[in-house]
Structure 1
Amino acid sequence: METALIIGSSGGIGTALSNTLTARGVAVTGLSRSRDGLDVTDEASVEAALGALKGPFDLVFVATGALEINKAKPEKTLRHVTADAMIDQFKLNTVGPSLVLKHAMRLLPRKGRSVFAALSARVGSIGDNRLGGWYSYRTSKAALNQMIHSSAIELARTHKDLICVALHPGTVETPFTEKYVGHNPSVPASDAAANLLSVLDDLNPDDTGKFFDWQGKEVPW
């Protein structure tokens, strides 16, 4: 790939992705809330930011997301579920990447290999859910996975070489996860970025619409 657009480029994984790609010689354009005022939950903000870009981009990567929003922690029980917390999770983790994809379509080449990737999470897998809990975060990521899968079907009609995927990065050492690492093995953001890019390098258009982890293994929906 020669050009890349990273959404959420000031976050832990976004920064690492940008640095790794730049080191490869890729021309990286980064957009984030803290640096550029991009609010992925506000369509006017997304439209303005992406509308100012020319493209095309070989890679559009959405690296935004959060486990806690407005101090609402992942729920351990149904008794902790609130409408506000669930809506906040859906706005950032589902609506945000969906709006980016909507307005990034014109920035993706119609011919030649290109990739649209969004950070999901294994806990968003319905088939792999054995522990329950984390209701708002889990369901927002499950909804994101459905958006990716459905969008891949539509985009395959116009962008035949596009690979549209959801990615699970593993447990990454960032402020995003520092309180939730627990006993799970974790990796620095730089390693996570290298792992994810390695997965993308090995994908082909037949893989569009799927969900992969950082090792390149397909995750059940």
Structure 2
Amino acid sequence: MTNVGNIGANERPSVPRTAAIFGASGGIGAKLAAHLSTLGCERVYAGSRSGDVSGAGIVPFAFDLTDEASIAEAARMMRAEPPEWVPEWVIVASGVLTLDDGKGPERTYKRLDPDVMAKVLAINTIGPAMIAKHMLPMMPRERAFTFAALSARVGSISDNGLGGWHSYRASKAALNMLIKNFAIEVGRTHSQGVIVGLHPGTVDTALSAPFQKGLAEGQLTDPLQAADNLVRVLASLTPEQSGRVFDFSGKEIPA
């Protein structure tokens, strides 16, 4: 188990010239895009279903996490840009806990529904995998880059002492395995690449809203603070830490 190096709260983290956020209209993704721009990222490709994210240095694009063709088109758009504008950080900030129809995480196996499971896996696991499929090939072999996807502590198999939340846990555990696989494969040719999962903590967004009651004081994080936490972790990562999952404070989450 390792932790990433700490960047002091008053120290400005180093950010890349370019970044791409898939899921830039969500609670965390929107703050990540805006915060990166504020910190000096000159171009932030900001992806959402509508494609209407705006702001200083923001280049919007439309994509659907369940439509591979839209992901491939977004990658082609970025690949067509001059080399200096190819994203150095790619962050998948999309995810689902409760579906649009209100069906939430199952607390018992007796409530498992194959359609719900398929939708959760499509968004939390397959979608990020398709983004990796189309974005990783454009990452440079001779320079550093980072590919990160939002995961969750409950995706840890060894740290699971409560059970329940079957589809969500399984989708994040599967995502963590894919992150490890991608890191091994890409690491053979890209020695400076970093591929990781990130656990943002419990953030005050629509995703966590139904589950905020009863949280301990200080456990709920403001979205901008969460974005800053994640940027600081990303800025501290090294290739030796590729393939792992880290929380918002830089602590490694066990597999």
Q: Per the shorter chain, which TM-score range?
A: over 0.9
Identify which of 109, 119, 144 aligns with 1:88.
Answer: 119
Identify which of 155, 168, 189 aligns with 1:158.
Answer: 189
Pairs within 5 Å for 1:36-115: 36-54=61-79, 55-69=85-99, 70-115=101-146
Q: Give runs of ≥4 in structure 1 deviating > 3 Å.
A: none
Q: How many residues align?
A: 221
Pairs within 5 Å for 1:177-192: 177-182=208-213, 183-184=215-216, 185-192=219-226
* Contact 1:56 1:109 (8 Å CA) reproduced: no
Distance 2:25 2:173 in 1: 25
TM-score by length of 1: 0.97
Distance 1:66 1:73 in 2: 9
* Contact 1:14 1:63 (8 Å CA) reproduced: yes
Identify which of 23, 31, 49 aligns with 2:47.
Answer: 31
Flag structure 1 segments of 5+ consecutive residues without an equivalent. none
Partner of 1:4: 19
Pairs within 5 Å for 1:160-175: 160-175=191-206
- Give yes or no for the alignment of 1:204 onto 2:204: no
Larger radius of gyration between Structure 1 and Structure 2: 2
Flag structure 2 segments of 5+ consecutive residues without an equivalent. 1-15, 52-60, 80-84
TM-score by length of 2: 0.84
Distance 1:158 1:169 in 2: 29
Distance 2:210 2:23 in 1: 21
Distance 2:70 2:155 in 1: 27
After superposition, the CA RMSD in angstroms is: 1.1
Pairs within 5 Å for 1:130-145: 130-145=161-176
How far did 1:107 drift? 2.8
How far did 1:34 drift? 2.9
Distance 1:37 1:201 in 2: 27
Distance 2:115 2:35 in 1: 36
